[in-house]
Amino acid sequence: MAVICTAILAASIITPSYDDYWLARRNLDRVERFRLVLDAANRLSAERGPSNAVMGSVTVPASDAMQQLAQFRSASDAAVEAIANPVTSNRESVEHPIPTRFLEQTTVQLKRARMQVDRVASLPFEQRRLEDVQGAIESMFAVVDDFQLVVAWNVDELVDADDGIAAPVLIGHMLSDLREYGGRIASQIMAPIATRHPLERKHLIDSSRTRGRLNELWRLVGGQDALFRSDSRLAGKHEEIQRIFFGDGLDMLDALVAEGRTSGNYSLTAEDFTERFVKTLQPLESLRREFLNVKIDELMQTRDRALRTLMLVIAVAIAILTILAGIVHMVHRSVLSPLLQARDEVIGLAQDRPVELGNREGYAGEMRRLFDAIQILRGKLLERAVRTDKLKEQAETDGLTGLFNRRTLDLIGQSKPEQGGLAEMACLILMDIDYFKLVNDSYGHQAGDLVLREVAGLLRTLLRPADVVARFGGEEFAVLSSGDQLSDVVVRARRLRLALQRHEIVLPDGVRLNMTASFGVASGSFGTDEWPRLIKAADIALYRAKTEGRNRVRFAAHDPLDTTS
């Protein structure tokens, strides 16, 4: 028995450290593979630059431009090949490959787009029609759009695998999109420049829409001061992007748009515009690359720390277990046997079963009475504790869903940060099931109760143990997080929305329902005065989500992350 207890203790000490080390290794591999995916996305985006240049060249063939295009195409092919056949010894990467259909769709479209580019470039300059150049450019857009299926799949895999890497993965995705839209906005006016035609209404609309997406992405990413202060390699990137891309690059584009509104006489050729504008995109790509490098370095450090901790824990565990084995042997011989005998006798008395009195020679009378009293008292206290816990559970939980009720949520929200280990910062998600009344009206209240229980179970599955989940009232639920950044809670709310949307609820009569919900998110503080304000802010955001179409996430208006989800 002593050997078994010793082995269990050793496993309980070492297992958490080993799990931390293994998780750190897996996260490092996941993010490194994600970096390869974003590198491939960037290569496919970057290939548009020399493609635009050869289609706008006045010579046939444009030897310098064609040579550069060939180099970019080779780089794109190598990047796609690297993610299709990763060179790694990590077993997880082999078990979770990127779906072949996504890559095949991208490669087929890439081949088609390149053929269109080559056909246009082979024509004499005066025979190149606007619609042909525009078609080739849009075909290159379709390559990146198809590859976004790969990126989205990879993002979902990483976010589902570990919440701890969700934030850097989503930020990396946004930085990749920032680079893509930065290049796309120039390509959207490239066909008229290459063929010396005035800009059409479509070009102006597409460029304006892309400008809006760029500004929104930059507001989300550029507004995170902590991102640029987290590492010296990221310091100054914000000012560099603001000055070079959003300043010089977009000013250059605006000047050409102004020229194209009135005529096809542009101050720059397609080759010159491509060469100059691509330089302004370099800070965007540099930020994405350095951000992922920083996060990978951090994951390496986490892995190394976990390994050192594991080795230390193993060494300490061996030392402790060696000492413990000697102590266990001594205690068992001199103390444990008498105590176990007394325990068996007391339990027998508490259970009203006959007790065979053992030989107590050498036992002090006080010890016998003490053990008897402790064991009997423990039994009585256990009965009382069970009754108390049951009453407490009935008072704190919602009888239908088993979640905390509104009263318990209010008590937690009104608690001061020093109470119960709460952090000062609080984030609240209010969730309202869309069209729930229609379920009650169409299928009955029992079906509505089933939907509420299903949603409650889904919330338990997706949220962390530290999150406070409660039924807020009716078809509303609430999730209260302590000490989280609003951006993390935004990610969590989006995951909840998508998970509910994909979750199928089967009623007893076989009817299958897919429910959606609207979400309102706000940040604030714990406390008697602060809690009502936090609820009000989240409720206002929830109202916006419902009035703007439901099945979406909205954030408190005062927050810089408040945007369409």
CB burial readout 486-502, b (16+ within 10 A) else e: bbbbbbbbbbbbeebee
Region 333-340 average pLDDT: 60
C-alpha span between 500 and 521 (Å, rounded): 17
Torsion angle (degrees, nearest 10) of CA 507, 510, 516, 522 = 30
CB atoms within 10 A of CB 313: 19
Domains with residue ranges and CATH for the chain: 34-309 (no CATH), 406-555 (3.30.70.270)
| Residue 62 phi, psi (nearest 5) | -85, 90
Give me the pLDDT at residue 316, please. Answer: 84
C-alpha span between 43 and 397 (Å, rounded): 53
| pLDDT confidence band for 138 (50 / 70 / 90) | very high
| pLDDT confidence band for 428 (50 / 70 / 90) | very high
Q: pLDDT, tens digit, for every residue of 295-314?
A: 888 888 888 988 988 888 88
Give me the pLDDT at residue 93, please. Answer: 47
> Is residue 557 within 8 Å of residue 541, measured between CB atoms?
yes
C-alpha span between 27 and 164 (Å, rounded): 9
Looking at residue 98, what DSSP letter applies? P
Least Cα distance to 134 among 65, 69, 191, 174 occurs for 191
Report the chain's mean pLDDT, rounded to a whole number: 84
Of 384 and 298, the one with more pLDDT: 298
C-alpha span between 562 and 565 (Å, rounded): 9
What ranges make up the beta strands (E) of 173-266?
none
Q: Is the pLDDT of residue 463 over 90?
A: yes
Residues 6+ away with beta carbon under 8 Å from 82: 36, 39, 40
Q: pLDDT, tens digit, for every residue of 357-382?
A: 556 566 566 666 665 665 665 666 56
Q: pLDDT, tens digit, for every residue of 55-97?
A: 888 766 556 778 888 999 999 999 999 888 876 545 444 456 7
Residues 6+ away with beta carbon under 8 Å from 8: none
Q: Is the pLDDT of residue 279 over 90?
A: yes
Task: Extract the tokens encoding 33.
Answer: 């593979």
Of 298 and 503, the one with more pLDDT: 503
Lowest mean pLDDT among 173-182, 231-240, 356-365: 356-365
Q: Is the pLDDT of residue 116 over 60?
A: yes
> Is residue 523 within 8 Å of residue 427, measured between CB atoms?
yes
Lowest mean pLDDT among 101-105, 192-196, 345-349, 520-524: 345-349
Give me the pLDDT at residue 375, please. Answer: 65
Q: pLDDT, tens digit, for every residue of 519-561?
A: 999 999 999 999 999 999 999 999 999 999 999 999 886 544 4
Q: pLDDT, tens digit, for every residue of 479-498?
A: 999 888 888 898 999 999 99
C-alpha span between 187 and 181 (Å, rounded): 10
SS3 480: strand
| pLDDT confidence band for 350 (50 / 70 / 90) | low
Lowest mean pLDDT among 46-60, 260-274, 317-331, 443-457: 317-331
Q: Is the pLDDT of residue 46 over 50?
A: yes
Distances (CA, A) of 402 to 398, 436, 437, 464, 505: 5, 19, 21, 16, 18
User: DSSP string spanning 384-433?
Assistant: HHHHHHHHHHHHHB-TTT-SB-HHHHHHHHTS-TTSTT--SEEEEEEEEE
C-alpha span between 98 and 157 (Å, rounded): 10
Q: pLDDT, tens digit, for every residue of 139-152?
A: 999 999 999 999 99
> Is residue 493 within 8 Å of residue 519, measured between CB atoms?
yes
Give me the pLDDT at residue 561, please. Answer: 43
pTM (global) more than 0.75: no
